[in-house]
Amino acid sequence: MPVATKLPSSAKSVSEPRAILGPAGNRVRVSEDHKRNNDCQKNPRRPTKQMPKIPQSVVTNNVSTDSTCSSDSSSNSSGKKFTSRRTVRRNGLMPVKIVPDGAVGAALSPKAASPSNRCDWITPNSDPLYAAFHDEEWGVPVHDDRKLFELLVFSQALAELSWPAILNVRDVFRKLFKNFEPSSVAEITEKELLALKINGNPLLSEPKLRAILGNANRLLKVQQEFGSFSNYCWRFVNHKPIRNGFRYGRQVPVKTPKAELISKDLMRRGFQCVGPTVVYSFMQAAGLANDHLITCFRYHECNVTIQKEHKTQVEEKEVRNETTLE
């Protein structure tokens, strides 16, 4: 390996020659680089001479011939494929970074390379129950009245508790509220309602508890009028989920005109604690709106589920029409 000549220490000392990374390791090119650097210092206005010729093996194995940042693939002496990226420096030298073939995409777009990329609000430090709720339930269309009532109650509880806190006591909620069966909840007396506690502490504030009991009775009336609470909710979105396409968490709204419309109708029917913010949280959780970010793997999965359900509904409607005609 050639050894760089030790230069005398002075105010005009020349910097050490740069190393070029080749397939077999670092190779220091001294003679021509050293001469060119000295020449440029003595004649600063003199045009820079042509860059010293790099051995053909280095060019062939590691450097793309394009003059811009690029990547290409080739094989070294061992037959293993490599992909190279380079940036042309001001002094003309081109340090090369060698990475295994296929790793460039991951380096350029780490989020795209992750198959489980989630919405921004789910982080590696998030509660596992919250992450599981995001991955398996949030945004999935719900048509079961009992489940819809449960999600409505949880959306109301968000004014006092966070999603992770609610999910950690979800089993307690289900036990105390008769598995959220509307007819069973409607039979709970006020005394039993105010006695609902966790470790001696009230489950929710008294107004929220009273609202749950009152809403159960109102829900029963909605079932009588529309056949089910599901039919009532889904008619506001024409029985097809709203598919938003937000890229960033800050773009996701806390309420929408559609949520305000549903909120007004619920309050007109006697429901309590169902403001637009509560209603929109309910719409997101129950899948009436798909607010997963488009970079989240669940956004596409929920859309596939929506398409399948819509196809099934169309087929069922056609069967009912054929049966009626017969």
Contact present, 70 and 50 (Cβ < 8 Å):
no
Neighbours of 311 (CB within 10 A): 10
Contact present, 205 and 279 (Cβ < 8 Å):
no
d(CA 88, CA 92): 6
- Residues of the binding site for Zn(2+): 119, 134, 292, 296
DSSP string, 1-66: ---PPPPPPSTTPPPPPPEEEETTEEEE--HHHHHHHHHHHH-TTSPPPPPPPPPHHHHHHH--S-
- Residues of the binding site: 119, 134, 292, 296
Q: Which residue has the tokens 């060119």?
A: 36
d(CA 104, CA 88): 18
CA angle (78 as vertex; 74, 80 as ends), nearest 5: 45
- What are the structure tokens assigned to 43, written together? 């004649």
Q: Give the three-state DSSP class for 161.
A: coil
C-alpha torsion angle, residues 257, 287, 138, 315 (rounded to 10): -160
